[in-house]
Amino acid sequence: MFDLGTLGFTRPSRERAWPFLSNLLRVNAANDSQKIEAQDGRLVFSSIMMPDGRKGLYFPAVFQSDMHLGTHGTRAKRLCLFYDLVQTDQLKLVGDIIGGTEMTEKKNFRFGGKWHKQVLGHFLRKAASGTDVTFIPGNHDEIPRGKKIKAADGQNKWHRKLTGKSMLGVCVQHEDLYTDPKGRQFRVLHGDKFDNFSGFWYKVGDWFITQLQNLDRAVQTKFPSMREHSIAAMVKRAFKTVIMPFMAVKQSVLKYANRIKADGVIYGHSHISGFQTSMNGSIAMNDGCCTEHVQALVHDKNGVWAVLTMYADRFDVEQEDGQRYEKTFDQLGLTESVEKGPTLYRDGARANVGRLLRLIARTWPSKSRSSALEEMHQIFKTSAVKGADVSPHSPPSSFAADFNGTDIVDFDAERVSRLRAEFLQMPIKRKPLENMVPSSLVFADKIKLEA
């Protein structure tokens, strides 16, 4: 494994040198890349040396959505391997990255296993090394979009709105614009606004997909040979063939592209990857999902777009022009890199994941946490409280400080103490590393912070 320590760098100097070296590797990949496939209008796979010393691939931009991190359906370990193999200038996370609504149904907070946390670490690590990482909230993690509430002074104010801000180097946007090498401009958004179904039927469909994913997990655990096959994926393909034409989702996307005068729309949400072009040339591109299989929408420096679906031994490629083919890891020269497996990082980015987990635990509280908040709120409503607003819906960054400074009289001290301890319980308690971002700089307006 490539180690800056062998070159005489101390730990602080390694942390400072890493972004420079990562950018140098990316420039070399763009200028001197080995074109593994470049004929017949096919996608160009550019070879690159990754920061950990293994051989990888370079694409100017990568779009991914619907990971649902924190839930059983996520292919988190394979996602980590994907990020160990792929370097990019721009990483667009197009919604439903966090399974927020699913976590609110859990009795206690638990954010998946170690590989789920490693995926978050990859986001922060790439942002710190110079990659433009953008997070666009979806319907399962929509709280950062914010909502307007009526404040005590009667004014409508935004509550928990994080769009337009940078969070540990990751830029949060409601929607985004992207221009490809051919000069075409695309609007990037999650796509839940195009849903024809809502309310009860949407919940039924969501529940059905969740049950299929649970069935997948049970079958793949019992029969390891079935890990590359997904019942949920097969059902979705059948759904795409039979039902999708009646829902007219892609038609709605294309009409939206025409209305905003863009060359196309990049979206997720439906978990069904693919391309569709309208009569006037507008294109709708869906980047798929990362639940049944790890998928990503990418393009090369010539502007050739394709959806990559990652399997144990290959990438399945579906291009914008309709070409479909396979590229095995052996053909790409990645066999040795894949055999190493995903790297388990324990660096500054991984330490900052603890901060994100605390924010996630407060943004999408579990049932036990929500009940504790409600009980605490009822105690405070019947007590004489001076100072801060201690509503269960207070912003997550201020509640702990407000609560510590609250002067309470006439209350059940033991009960409030127990509730306070439960509320302030952190999912991860570790000694901060020297390169962790100060608490006061976790959020900043339109700036990038090195993790």
CATH number of the domain enclosing 302: 3.60.21.10
Q: Are residues 323 and 369 in the same domain?
A: no
Reported as a single tens digit per residue, the pLDDT across 39-96 is 578 999 999 999 888 999 999 999 999 999 988 878 899 999 999 999 999 999 998 9
Residue 216 pLDDT > 60, yes or no?
yes
Task: State how far the Cα of 20 lies from the Cα of 23, in Å rounded to an integer.
Answer: 5
**30 vs 293, residue with greater confidence:** 293
The whole-number pLDDT of residue 413 equals 54
Which residue in 248, 277, 249, 246 sits closest to 264, CA to CA? 277
396 lies in a domain?
yes
358 lies in a domain?
no
- At 291, the pLDDT band (50, 70, 90 cuts) reads confident
Helix (H) or strand (E) holding 113: none
Torsion of CA 121, 127, 130, 134, to 10 degrees: 140
Q: Are residues 290 and 403 in the same domain?
A: no
Q: Are 113 and 52 in contact (CB under 8 A)?
A: no
Which residue in 442, 429, 427 sits closest to 369, CA to CA? 427
Reported as a single tens digit per residue, the pLDDT across 415-441 is 556 655 655 554 444 444 434 444 444
Reported as a single tens digit per residue, the pLDDT across 354-405 is 888 888 888 888 787 777 777 776 766 665 444 444 444 443 433 333 333 3
The whole-number pLDDT of residue 201 equals 56
Q: Are residues 192 and 306 in the same domain?
A: yes
Q: Are residues 334 and 389 in the same domain?
A: no
Own/partner pairs for 29-38, CB < 8 Å, 24+ apart?
29/58, 29/87, 30/58, 30/60, 30/301, 33/58, 36/327, 36/331, 36/332, 36/333, 37/327
Q: Are residues 313 and 396 in the same domain?
A: no
- Provide, rounded to the nearest whole percent, the portion of the chain with pLDDT above 90: 33
Reported as a single tens digit per residue, the pLDDT across 103-143 is 888 777 778 788 999 999 999 999 999 999 999 999 888 88
The per-residue pLDDT of the chain, averaged, comes to 75
Q: Are residues 265 and 208 in the same domain?
A: yes
253 lies in a domain?
yes
Task: State how far the Cα of 68 lies from the Cα of 317, in Å rounded to an integer.
Answer: 23
The whole-number pLDDT of residue 227 equals 63
The whole-number pLDDT of residue 30 equals 47
Domain that holds residue 381: 365-445
Q: Are residues 27 and 124 in the same domain?
A: yes
What is the total count of domains within the chain? 2
Q: Are residues 293 and 244 in the same domain?
A: yes
